[in-house]
Structure 1
């Protein structure tokens, strides 16, 4: 059974080499991500990382490496610290972030990707298939990208209530609240984390969890949440 769940966002600016002038402003977010990943590494040496990608549903083998070069810096990450595989220039962002977060933990990661528009039912079914695995679960995805006028998606007043509800569900370890997120609203708010969070809901349903919200905010107009769930 799952030993622990960690939820992270996926902004490339988590990587100091990519953060530039934003490095100081995002230091608290970065520290929260590092702390959560360290806890997951202490709980499990094997992780399953769940994220959303336009390529749709697929599994990514641990013997995979990727690079943030497409985001401005050739920072190479590995899903298995022992991997010597060629660098995949197209490794999806959530798995790049998973590899970055796992650095130094010794964890070996299998990626499970879903389409951003995967239905709640599809997400729940994938989650249920992961629930019995003796691994740590890393769930990667952002909240709404429409919190301010200067946000990537500009301002949508529904962003605040949406991400407040996500933060509360993560704080309270409430799978039912995550399962109830409206996929159409998530799409309209550019919340790429909606599908991965609903995989989380399917993976944790039926067990009692304690939630900790380590970070919740919207720097640069995008909602980011960091949480740890322990059984």
Structure 2
């Protein structure tokens, strides 16, 4: 059963050494991410699953390593040879800051182009045993401005508004209905991971809180927390 979820961006700019000129806005986003992770763990989950988009589906144990060296800073999370995609590297880095027991963590990459029904099915499977919390690493559209990585698309802002509203309202049905083709056109790399969350939350009622929203480089970033109604910490 999904008891809580946190949604955070997977930009490496959350790491202070990479924040550069956007330090002020990114510092606020980073603080919101730490707050979201703390709220996630306060729900008392039996295990935490970090979910993020990647080129391919793949499961990793909680000790797997990821590196941000290719982004210009010598930051590594986990042990051994770095194998994690960017989304899981940033998600694991955030969880590491909270000093959580990684023996109770799973890391799950979902293909960024995975069909919606496959994402929903995966979410239901991940939430199937015990008290589960999801840390979802997901960005919005990268087409919000003329200087965005995907350039300006007038549909990008309404798409991000839709996602932000769903996150604020604990609305898994809206996330489940996101169109993969539209998300791909808008460079919304977090769509698949958000639909995994939707699948995990299906059948439950959640209180949502949007802690932060920013787009300092023309890419939509959200930070949100979902808490299952009636699921007190430690209850089954």
124, 129, 152: which one pairs with 1:128? 124
Q: Size of the alignment, in residue pairs?
A: 223
Offset at residue 135 of structure 1 (A): 2.4
Mapping for residues 12-161 of structure 1, pairs under 5 Å: 12-43=12-43, 44=45, 46-54=47-55, 56-78=56-78, 85-88=79-82, 90-107=83-100, 108=102, 109-133=105-129, 134-161=131-158
Q: Partners of 1:2 and 1:181 in 2: how far apart?
A: 21
- SS class of match (2:160): helix
Instruction: Note if contact 1:146-1:153 (Cα within 8 Å) is conserved in structure 2.
Output: yes
Q: Partners of 1:154 and 1:104 in 2: how far apart?
A: 34
Segment drifting more, 158-167 vs 97-106: 97-106
Structure 1: which 5+ residue stretches go unaligned?
79-84
TM-score by length of 2: 0.91
Offset at residue 3 of structure 1 (A): 2.3
Structure 2: which 5+ residue stretches go unaligned?
229-236
- Structure 1 residue 202 corresponds to structure 2 residue 199: yes
Root-mean-square deviation (CA, aligned residues, Å) is 1.3
Q: Partners of 2:108 and 2:85 in 1: how far apart?
A: 11
- SS class of match (2:222): strand
Instruction: Note if contact 2:50-2:92 (Cα within 8 Å) is conserved in structure 1.
Output: no
Q: Partners of 1:11 and 1:127 in 2: how far apart?
A: 23
TM-score by length of 1: 0.92
Instruction: Note if contact 1:41-1:106 (Cα within 8 Å) is conserved in structure 2.
Output: no
- Once the two structures are superposed, residues 130-186 of structure 1 have per-residue CA deviations (whole angstroms, 9 ceiling, x without a partner) of 122322111111100000011111101100000000000111111110011111000
Offset at residue 100 of structure 1 (A): 1.4
